[in-house]
Amino acid sequence: MDIYKIDETKDIEMIVNSFVSEPATEKEWLYFSDAKKRLDFYDTEKQIVTSVVMLANTPIYRNDDGYEFMLVFTPEAIEKMAYDYFSKNGFNKISINHDGSVIEGSAILLESYFVDDNKRAPEKFGTLPKGTWVVSYKVVDKKIWDMIKNKKLRGFSIEVLADLKKLKLKYTKNNKNKKDMEKEKNKKQNFEDAVTDQGVNVTFDSFEVGQIIYTVAEDGTKVTLEQGTYLINYEGSVYEVVVDENGTMTAINQVSENKAENDFASEFKKLQERLEAIEKKLENFTSHKATAQARKQQPLTTDSSSQERVHFSNIKVKF
């Protein structure tokens, strides 16, 4: 499936933030209420909803007139979009299910921030990519709040006018020799590099559970890996990596070593041992029967390491 990004170098116009039943980011609201009881046994509700407006560097499924593709917002594009919206005093303007109308005053913006090392999203959302836009609204309109409580409205969906740019993922051939690998290890980088079974470059701040893992486009754009289980070649070893819906690594298990030179040396040693055994047998045979003609034998070898090898064809990566 083709993948595009919002071109952050061009103008980006955000028209409205809509309260919808099925948010494109698949992040439903957290809504907060005051559970304390008053003496008159009436409940008071804060009527506040918090959720993600847009996930950074995360592919969002789109279907425009039958053309299916994935769309990515970079942190730069999200910031540009938010600044445009706020510059037009869009703080308290919303719509309902993209019905074409804009409502003002029914919901009041209380908080707006971009996820970074200091500002995190609520724990229920899990680990979110840096640059993700999170907002909270105080819902004033009773009808809208009832729709939220009854799950008829579940999250946000934005209306945006922007240019798209097609992305091409960066691939690496898995045929580097030892010298090339050593050179790469000595390079100072801000992130570690690894490769999926299909040769797709992936990056992360560190290769450990809880970190987000990204694929890399040729222009440097990072895109979170789709949820699933992958085989990843990292520093000469193969790992099975489980990725959640946010692109976060939730499990990392080493599958096998992938040291080609050591494998070759091991197989060559086994071959030598078999040849020596055959030569010994031939020597014993000819010493007893000098007139016999010894034929040169081609030793039969078996792939004794086949069960240890990783078959990447079992894993599919979708983009």
Same domain, residue pair 202 and 303: yes
Same domain, residue pair 314 and 197: yes
pLDDT at 122: 87
Q: Is residue 138 packed enough to be buried (19+ CB in 10 Å), middle (13-18) or exposed (0-12)?
A: middle
CA of 75: how far to CAs of 11, 72, 143, 223, 281, in Å? 15, 10, 34, 11, 71
Reading across the β-sheet that carries 164-166, which strands appear in turn? 60-64, 67-72, 2-6, 164-166
Same domain, residue pair 153 and 29: yes
pLDDT at 235: 85
Half-sphere exposure of 264 (CA within 13 A, CB side): 3
Q: Is residue 315 packed enough to be buried (19+ CB in 10 Å), middle (13-18) or exposed (0-12)?
A: middle
Which of 171, 176, 222 has its CA nearest to residue 199? Answer: 171
Same domain, residue pair 25 and 141: yes
Same domain, residue pair 235 and 154: no
pLDDT at 281: 58
CA of 110: how far to CAs of 68, 91, 274, in Å? 35, 9, 77
Global pTM reads: 0.70
Same domain, residue pair 177 and 194: yes
Alpha-carbon distance 303 to 49, whole Å? 60
Alpha-carbon distance 17 to 151, whole Å? 18
Same domain, residue pair 250 and 186: yes
Same domain, residue pair 199 and 319: yes
Same domain, residue pair 160 and 181: no
DSSP string, 226-288: PSEEEEEEETTEEEEEEE-TTSBEEEEEEEEE--HHHHHHHHHHHHHHHHHHHHHHHHHHHHH
Alpha-carbon distance 225 to 252, whole Å? 15
pLDDT digits (tens, 9 = 90+) for 63-89: 888 889 999 999 999 999 999 999 999
- Last residue of some domain: 141, 166, 191? 166
Alpha-carbon distance 21 to 106, whole Å? 17
Tokens of 84: 């445009």
Alpha-carbon distance 128 to 27, whole Å? 11
Same domain, residue pair 114 and 150: yes
**β-strand 93-96 against 103-104: which pairing, if any?**
antiparallel
Same domain, residue pair 79 and 175: no
Alpha-carbon distance 223 to 217, whole Å? 8
- Last residue of some domain: 124, 149, 166? 166
pLDDT at 267: 57
- Cα Rg for the chain, rounded, in angstroms? 29
Same domain, residue pair 21 and 102: yes
Which range of residues forms the domain containing residue 14?
Answer: 2-166
- Last residue of some domain: 110, 134, 166? 166
Which H helix or E strand runs over 182?
A: helix 178-186
What's the number of domains the chain is made of?
Answer: 2
Which residues in the chain land under pLDDT 50?
35-44, 174-179, 181-191, 259-261, 264, 285-286, 288-319
